[in-house]
Amino acid sequence: MRLVIIGGGILGTAHAFAAIGRGHEVVQLEREPEARGATVRNFGLVWVSGRAPGELALTLRSRQLWEEIGGRVPGIGFRPAGSMTLVRTPAELAVAEATVSGPSASTRGFELLAPDEVRTINPALRGTFLAGLHCSTDAVVESRQALPALRGYMTASGRYTFHASTEARTVTDTGSGATVLDEHGRHFDADLVVVCPGAAHGGLTRELAGALPVRRVRLQMMQTAPLGETLSTAIADGDTFRYYPGYAGPELDRLDADQSQSATAARHRMQLLCVQRLGGGLTLGDTHEYEEPFAFDVDESPYEHLVGVTEELLGHRLPQVIRRWAGVYSQSVDPTAISTRVQADDHVWVVTGPGGRGMTLGPILGEETADLLNL
């Protein structure tokens, strides 16, 4: 078959990768010179630890796919680093204790470690904390490198073409397939068109699929200069418990009720996630903003909070912050939905809305669509 995929982010690229892997021909269109949305404005985390029980099997399958892809495409920078969620209060510790006693703890690779045990696994953590919730199944890819590396791999197949700076204007179902017209007046005929618009919910997306059950979420993040030592796992703080459904339970309810979260973290709906890049710097975040219109600038107080928490956990000052950014991603408004997949016409599908899970679940969402459409 011949597919046209509209959207050059992780979802579009994962769908292209799945189709190429099954022997099909793919033309992919991206309106920017390079994907610039949530796909590159994230941690590169393949995050198993906090996923809801109902999506755990899919997440583990996606993690397996990332590892397999990393073996074939080393440029994506896959590392099975695991993660360490560092708890600093008794209420957070209670959530961690309940987590390691839960039915999926061994599947996720959870263990609760004392501070000395934490430092055995990650010696860079010389700061103050009560315990560490270690998850051995979490992993990392290099979000800014992954898409070019995947495109290079697919191009070598001889069945893949990428058109940068190419905005799709119309998609017309022809009965036996579909035709895409781009801004340059070119027509691309396909047996199947898959639209992966990211957070662009209007325009062509709305014309094709109407008002989708999705919302946009804004976040703030930053990057430091090289740390000067190895951070052997991703790290998180106890505020992450508040944002991942895998930690739900009475202990989390008590944590939410105890008002121990700092005013800045509560106001900006914050958690600390921290990942070391291959170049040695740290990616730090993040915030959650749900009400539009979003600000065009960034607020400094969340950055100050993230620096303070990270320095407390590391036990020393961070290197200089060298860049800051904001990003927007698409999230399904149904908390039980992993993404929003809509058949817009006989030969046209729209896929969006995985929330902050796009990098984690990209490969499995591409595989699921390929199975659904009998590719």
Phi then psi for residue 165, to 5 deg, are 50, 45
**Residue 242: pLDDT above 90?**
yes
Residues 239, 269: Cα–Cα separation, whole Å: 9
pLDDT in tens, 100-124: 999 999 999 999 999 999 999 999 9
The reported pLDDT for the residue numbered 259 is: 84
Q: What is the mean pLDDT of the chain?
A: 97
Mean pLDDT of 245-252: 96
* Strand boundaries in 244-288, DSSP class E: 273-276, 282-285
- In terms of phi and psi (left: phi > 0; alpha: psi -120 to 50; beta: otherwise), the region of 310 is alpha
Ranges of each domain in the chain: 1-80+142-213+336-375, 83-136+214-332
**Residue 228: pLDDT above 90?**
yes
Sort 2 into a burial class: Cβ within 10 Å, 0-12 / 13-18 / 19+: middle
The reported pLDDT for the residue numbered 335 is: 84
Q: Selecting from 3.30.460.80, 3.30.9.10, 3.90.105.10, 1.10.10.10, what CATH number does the domain 83-136+214-332 have? A: 3.30.9.10
Q: Specify whether the CB–CB gap between 115 and 24 falls below 8 A.
A: no
CA terminus-to-terminus distance, the chain:
8
The reported pLDDT for the residue numbered 84 is: 98
- Percent of the chain at pLDDT above 70? 100
Closest CA to 219 of 66, 346, 42, 366: 42
Report helix, strand or coil for 11.
helix
Q: Specify whether the CB–CB gap between 368 and 14 falls below 8 A.
A: no
* Strand boundaries in the chain, DSSP class E: 2-6, 25-29, 45-46, 83-87, 110-113, 131-135, 139-140, 160-163, 168-173, 178-182, 187-190, 192-195, 214-224, 234-237, 273-276, 282-285, 321-332, 340-345, 348-352
Mean pLDDT of 303-311: 98
**Residue 260: pLDDT above 90?**
no
pLDDT in tens, 13-57: 999 999 999 999 999 999 999 999 998 999 999 999 999 999 999
Structurally, at CATH architecture level, domain 1-80+142-213+336-375 sits in 3-Layer(bba) Sandwich (3.50)
pLDDT in tens, 230-240: 999 999 999 99
pLDDT in tens, 79-91: 999 999 999 999 9
* 3-state class percentages of the chain: helix first, strand second, coil last, to nearest 5: 35, 25, 40
pLDDT in tens, 339-358: 999 999 999 999 999 999 99
- In terms of phi and psi (left: phi > 0; alpha: psi -120 to 50; beta: otherwise), the region of 355 is left
Residue 323 binned pLDDT confidence (cut-offs 50, 70, 90): very high
The reported pLDDT for the residue numbered 336 is: 86
The reported pLDDT for the residue numbered 11 is: 97
The helix/strand count (H/E) of the chain reads as 11, 19
Q: Specify whether the CB–CB gap between 199 and 212 falls below 8 A.
A: no
- Percent of the chain at pLDDT above 90? 98
Q: Which amino acid is at 21?
A: G
Give all strands of the β-sheet with 160-163 in edge-to-edge order: 160-163, 25-29, 2-6, 192-195, 348-352, 340-345
Mean pLDDT of 157-183: 97
Closest CA to 18 of 60, 67, 69: 69
